[in-house]
Structure 1
Amino acid sequence: MSPGAPWTGPDAPGAMAQEHDAPHAALVDRAEAPLTPFPPDARTEEITRTSRTCVGIHKGGLGLILAHEDAEREAHVQEPRNALFRPLDPPLMDSYPLGV
């Protein structure tokens, strides 16, 4: 391939980004659902920004999760949840207790 030639095929950066966008958007949408009613006057862009941050925290912990096994892995799976849900306690915790 000559320098500066555009990439084609499934390994091209644009193709990889497009394949990443759909699952990432689905994760953000799923994270928005429990946040929508809290607080009631929140703007859509605030909820979306918070959801993206939540997804980023979980994605950031994947390396630690994959590097450990058994009980230690379970602890690393639970910790991002704890970090995200603790600030929402008590209003949200009645509906979404830790450990879920």
Structure 2
Amino acid sequence: MQRFLIERQIEGAANLTPAQLAEIAKTSNAAVASLGVPYTWVNSYVAGDKIYCVHETEDVETIREHARRGGFPADLVTVVSNEFGPHTAEAA
């Protein structure tokens, strides 16, 4: 599976309540379950008027189908080509 970064423009996203985020999560989980293919929602981050999500699946089309079934925007979908963090410095 590939890892994807998804940018979703959602006006007022930073003001969503925990209950609203829980409803979004339920909707997303149901959309994932309905796809019938390997798909993992890793995590999401709320920043301003955007939600950034990390998902794993085989292709962009599956990401877009998840968004369609969930009623979410998927304004930008990008394949993650690599990951690194503070621990990466130890490999040098």
- TM-score after normalising by structure 2: 0.36
- TM-score after normalising by structure 1: 0.34
Q: Which has the higher relative contact order, 1 or 2, with Cα contacts under 8 A spaced 6 or more apart?
A: 2
Looking at secondary structure, tell me which structure has more strand per residue.
2
Radius of gyration: which is bigger? 1
